Amino acid sequence: MENKKKNTEKTFIKLYERSFAENFELHAMNDFGSSKVFTYGDVARQVARLHILFEECRICKGEKISIIGKNSSRWAIAHIATITYGAVIVPILHDFNANDIAHIVNHSDSVLLFSADSIWETLNENSMPELKGVISLTDYRMLYQREGERLNEILQNLDEKFDIKYPNGFGPTNIIYSNQPDSDMVVLNYTSGTTGFSKGVMISGANLSGNMNFAHTDIHLQKGDRMLSFLPLAHTYGAAFDFFYALTEGVHTTYLGKTPAPKILLQAFAEVRPEVVISVPLIFEKIYKNMILPMLGKRAISLALNVPVLDNQIYAQFRRKLISALGGKCRLVVIGGAPFNNEVEDFFLKIKFPFCVGYGMTECAPLISFEADPSEFIPHSCGKVLPCMEVRIDSEDPQSIAGEIQTRGQNVMIGYYKNQTATNAVFTEDGWLHTGDLGTIDRKKNLSIRGRSKSMILSSSGQNIYPEEIEAKLNNLPFVMESLVLEKGNKLIALVYPDYESLAQTGISHEDLPLMMEKNKADLNNMVASYEKISTIQLYPNEFEKTPKKSIKRYLYSNI
C-alpha cells in the first residue's frame, strides 16, 4: 500500500526520481539479442549525462526534442532523459517517410533530434534548419551539428563534466528531476490516424498520471517482473505500459527492436518469459488462426469437445499451450489498440485464458476504458470507463442504439499543437472530446464499440452497417489474411489480401483462389444479416496500409 500511496502522491516526472532511486540495483532494460543490461542505476547515470548535454547545449525547459528509431534501450533512455529534464519529447514513428519526419521536426519546433543511424542517412539536414544537432541512438555520438554549435565538443568532454558535477560518484541521492507541474506538456505525439492528416497531440503529465495510477491499481506489475516490448514506443499505447508504467514499478523490459513476426516473437517470449504482455489484437488473432483453428478442425478434437468433462480438459490444454508459447509465466495479456475479433475472444473466454481488453486513443494518452477482472468482464465489450474519465453516447438510447462515444476527464489531451481550428473541432461546445467511434454503454459503464463513425455505411433500406464487424467474420475464413469491406454502387464489396503462406502449406494453386473466395463469400453471407451480404470478393495484391495501431487506413481505398 505504501508504494501505491507514493505513486498517487508524486507528480508524473517525480515517479521516475523515486523509482530510479528505489530500484537502483535492479535490472531495468535491455535489447533483445544483446547481453548488455542496464540497471535502474545505469539508466539514471545515462539520464544525468544527457541532462548535462542539454544544459551545455542551452536547451530550455519546455523546448522540444524529437526522437526516431525502433524500440531500444537507448531510445528509452533518451526519451526519459528529455522529460525528466523538463523538455518535451516528440516521438516519431520509425516508418514515417523523410518528408513526414522533416515536417514533424519543423512543426514541433524541435531543437535536437535523436535518430537511428539508418534513418538519419535518409534525411537532409537542410530540410530541418532549426535543429542544433542530431545524436545517434546507437551510442549517443554526434551525427550532425549546425554551424556555430558546440555539440561535438560537448559530447567529447561529457565524461569530464560528469565527474566534475559528481565528484563523489553518482548514487540514488543524486537523482533529482524537474519540478514542473503535471499540467505542463510532457509529450507531443504526432499521429496520422485514419484521416491522413498528422496532428500534434499535446499530452500533459496529468494525462499520463491518470493512466499510470490506473495501471498501478489494475495491471499489478511487480518489482523484478519481465516484459517484452514489441509495440512501437512512439505510439501512446506501447509507451504508456511497456515503458512509462514499467519504469515506475521496478520492471525489467526487453525491447524487441525488430518487426514482431510470429517466429521472432515466439523466440523472444521463450527467452524473456514475461509476466504481463501488452499487445494489439492482430498478434493473437494470427496465433488463433494459424495455431488453434487447425487443431480445432481435427476430427478427434472436434468430437471430444462435444463430450462433457472432456471439453474442459481440452480447453485447459489449449490454455496451457498458449501460456507456454508466451514463455510459460504470463499471468495477464492486455489487448488494445484496435477492436478484438469476437470469435477469438469467445474462444479465449472458453479456455479461461488470462486476458483483458481496453479502449482508448492517442488523445487520451491512451486509456478511456478497461477491465482487468475476468469476473466483471462483459464479453465483446472493452471494459468499464476509467474512474478518472466520463463517457457519454450521442444516441437517444445509449444502451441499445449506437452513437458517437464522447469523453472527458483527466486523461484528455491539452489540445493539438499550433492547430486551434482542429482543437475546436474535436471538442463539443460543452467540453467533451469527439472520439469518432460508435458504441453503446450499459448501466455499469461497460463500453462496447461498434465501429468508426466515418466508416459506417447506411444501407438503401436505412440500416446501419458496420464494416469492421463483417471483416472480423471474413478474416477467420480460409486463405484470408485481411479484408476491407466497402460500398460501391449501393452494394457491398470486400477487398481481400490472401494468406499465401496457408495456400502454400495446403498445396492449393493461386489459380484456385477465386473459387475459394466464392466459397468464402457464400459462407460469410450465411453468417450476416441480409443487408450486410457481400456482392463480390476482389483479391487485393498487397497488405493494406495501416496506422501504428494496425488499423487499416480506409481513406486510401475509398475510391477503389
What would the DSSP string read from start to end of 331-354? -EEEE-SSPPPHHHHHHHHHTT--
Amino acid at 336: G
In this structure, what C-alpha cell is assigned to residue 549? 495501431
Amino acid at 275: E
**Region 167-187 average pLDDT:** 96
Query: What is the CATH code of the structural domain delimited by 281-452?
Result: 3.40.50.12780
Q: Are strands 415-416 and 433-441 parallel, antiparallel or unpaired?
A: unpaired
Query: What is the CATH code of the structural domain delimited by 13-202?
Result: 3.40.50.980
Q: Are strands 433-441 and 226-229 parallel, antiparallel or unpaired?
A: unpaired
Q: Determine the pLDDT at residue 426.
A: 95
Q: Determine the pLDDT at residue 459.
A: 65
> CA torsion, points 221, 27, 226, 76, in degrees to nearest 10?
80
Residue 2 has pLDDT above 50, yes or no: no
| Residue spans in the chain of domains classed CATH 3.40.50.980 | 13-202
Nearest-10 crossing angle of helices 205-218, 2-9: 160
Q: Which residue has 464479453 as its cell numbers?
A: 379
Could you give the CA distance from residue 179 to residue 86 in angstroms, rounded to a whole number? 8
Could you give the CA distance from residue 229 to residue 71 in angstroms, rounded to a whole number? 8
Residue range 312-356, pLDDT digits in tens = 888 899 999 999 999 999 999 999 887 888 889 999 999 999 999
**Does 366 sit behind a cis peptide bond, omega within 30 degrees of 0 on the bond before it?**
yes
Which of 250-264, 464-478, 500-514, 540-554 is most confident?
A: 250-264
Are the C-beta atoms of 42 and 238 separated by less than 8 Å?
no
Amino acid at 191: T
The phi and psi torsions of 242 (rounded to 5 degrees) equal: -70, -25
Q: What is the chain's mean pLDDT, rounded?
A: 90
Number of neighbours of residue 473 by Cβ within 10 angstroms = 19
Q: Is 422 exposed, middle or buried (0-12, 13-18, 19+ CB in 10 A)?
A: middle
Are the C-beta atoms of 409 and 431 separated by less than 8 Å?
no
Residue 4 has pLDDT above 60, yes or no: no
Number of neighbours of residue 491 by Cβ within 10 angstroms = 12
- Establish how many alpha carbons lie within 13 A of residue 54's alpha carbon, considering only the half-sphere containing its beta carbon: 30
Tell me the whole-structure pTM to 2 decimals.
0.84
DSSP 154-176: HHHTHHHHHHHH-TT---GGG--
Residue 453 has pLDDT above 80, yes or no: no
DSSP 490-559: TEEEEEEEE-HHHHHHHT--GGGHHHHHHHHHHHHHHHS-GGG--SEEEE-SSPPPB-TTS-B-GGGGTT
Residue range 261-271, pLDDT digits in tens = 888 999 999 99
Residue 556 has pLDDT above 50, yes or no: yes
Kind and range of the H or E run holding 407: strand 403-409
Q: Where are the beta strands (DSSP E) in 69-159?
A: 88-92, 110-115, 133-136, 142-145
For residue 444, CA distances in Å to 371, 383, 386, 435, 528 come to: 12, 10, 12, 20, 29
Residue range 388-399, pLDDT digits in tens = 999 999 999 999
| Residue spans in the chain of domains classed CATH 3.30.300.30 | 457-557
Q: 260 or 77: whose pLDDT is higher?
A: 77
Bridge partners of residue 384, in order along the sequence = 370, 446
Query: What is the CATH code of the structural domain delimited by 457-557?
Result: 3.30.300.30
In this structure, what C-alpha cell is assigned to residue 285? 488473432
Length of the chain (residues): 560
SS3 at position 108? coil
Of 83-97, 226-240, 396-410, 462-476, minimum mean pLDDT range: 462-476
SS3 at position 262? helix
- Please say whether the dihedral angle defined by the alpha carbons of residues 13, 14, 19 and 21, taken in this order, is positive or negative: positive
Q: Which residue has 526519451 as its cell numbers?
A: 79
The phi and psi torsions of 475 (rounded to 5 degrees) equal: -65, -20
Residues 6+ apart with CB under 8 A from 1: none
Quote the radius of gyration of the chain (alpha carbons, Å): 24
> How many helices (H) and strands (E) are present in the chain, helices listed first?
21, 26
Residue range 143-153, pLDDT digits in tens = 999 999 999 99
| Residue spans in the chain of domains classed CATH 3.40.50.12780 | 281-452
Residue range 294-303, pLDDT digits in tens = 888 777 777 7
In this structure, what C-alpha cell is assigned to residue 424? 475546436
**Region 145-174 average pLDDT:** 96
Could you give the CA distance from residue 339 to residue 55 in angstroms, rounded to a whole number? 44
In this structure, what C-alpha cell is assigned to residue 460? 438503401
DSSP annotation of 123 reads -
